[in-house]
A and B are shown apart, each in its own frame.
Chain A
Amino acid sequence: MKAVSPKLLFPFLIVLAYTLGTVTYSRAVGRAAIGASDEGAFKKLLGDGRRLFAGQFVEMADVYFHSGMYPSIFDRASQPATKAVTGAVNDHDDHDGEDHDHEEHEDEHAAAMTPVAENWLEAFIHRFRITKHSHLTEGNEREILPWLKLAIELDPQNIETYTTAAYWLRRSLQRPEEAEAVLREGLRNNPTNYELLFEMGKLYKESKQDHERARNLWLAALQCWQRQDDAAREANGRDLAKIASNLGELDEEDGNYSQAIQDLELAKSVSPHPEAIQAWIERIRAKQSAP
Chain B
Amino acid sequence: MSRIWAVAMVVIKELYRRKDFYVLFVLTALLTLGALSVNFFDDPKIIRYVKDICLLLIWLSTLIIAIVTTARQLPAEREDRTIFPLLAKPVSRGQVIAGKFLGCWLASGLALLVFYVFFVAVTGLREPHLMWGAYVKSMFLHWMMLAMVVGLTLLGSVIFTAVSSNVTICLVAIFGILFIGEHLAKLAVKQAEPVRAITYTLFYCIPHIELFDVRRQIVNDQPLPGWLDCGLASLYAAAYAGVLLYATWLLFRRKSLST
Chain A positions near chain B (C-beta within 8 angstroms): 63-64, 67-69, 72, 74-75, 78, 118-119, 121-122, 124-125, 127-130, 132, 139, 142-143, 145-147, 149, 169, 173, 175, 178
Contact = CB atoms under 8 A, between A and B. Distances in A.
Q: Label chain A's interface by main secondary structure.
A: helix
Nearest to B41: A178
Contact of A74 (B48, B183, B208, B211): B183
Interface stretch (B128-136, B166-174, B214-222): B214-222
Given A127-B225, A142-B45, A146-B40, 6 more contacts: A68-B220, A118-B189, A129-B216, A130-B216, A143-B46, A146-B46
A118 B217 contact: no
B101 interface: no
B78 interface: no
B214 A64 contact: no
B219 A68 contact: yes
Contacts of B229: 127-128
B16 interface: no
B233 interface: yes
Contacts of B233: 128
Interface in B170-186: 180, 182-183, 185-186
B252 interface: no
Interface of B: 38, 40-43, 45-49, 141, 180, 182-183, 185-187, 189, 203-204, 208, 210-214, 216-217, 219-222, 225, 229, 232-233
Contacts of A142: 41, 43, 45-46
B237 to A, nearest CB: 12
Contacts, number: 77
B55 to A, nearest CB: 12
Contact of B216 (A68, A119, A122, A173): A68
B48 A143 contact: yes
A127 B230 CA distance: 10
Contacts of B187: 74
Contacts of A130: 216-217, 220, 222
A26 B25 CA distance: 34
A63 B49 CA distance: 11
B186 A145 contact: no
A119 B186 CA distance: 10
B41 A145 contact: yes
A64 B40 CA distance: 16
B212 A72 contact: no
17 contacts: A64-B48, A64-B220, A67-B220, A67-B222, A72-B183, A74-B180, A74-B183, A74-B186, A74-B187, A128-B141, A128-B213, A128-B225, A130-B216, A130-B217, A130-B220, A139-B45, A147-B49
B105 to A, nearest CB: 21
Contact of B40 (A67, A72, A118, A145): A145
A285 B111 CA distance: 75
Most chain B CB atoms below 10 A, which of A68, A124, A139, A175: A68
Contacts of B41: 142, 145, 149, 169, 175, 178
Contacts of B42: 178
A119 B46 contact: no
A146 B47 CA distance: 10
B100 to A, nearest CB: 29
Contacts of A175: 41
Nearest to B51: A143
A122 B182 contact: yes
Instruction: Choose among A63, A64, A125, A143 the residue with the greatest number of B CB atoms under 10 Å from its CB.
Output: A143
Contacts of B203: 121
Contacts of B232: 124
Contacts of A118: 185-186, 189
B186 A75 contact: yes
A115 B146 CA distance: 27
Contacts of B49: 64, 143, 146-147
Contacts of A74: 180, 183, 186-187
Nearest to A75: B186
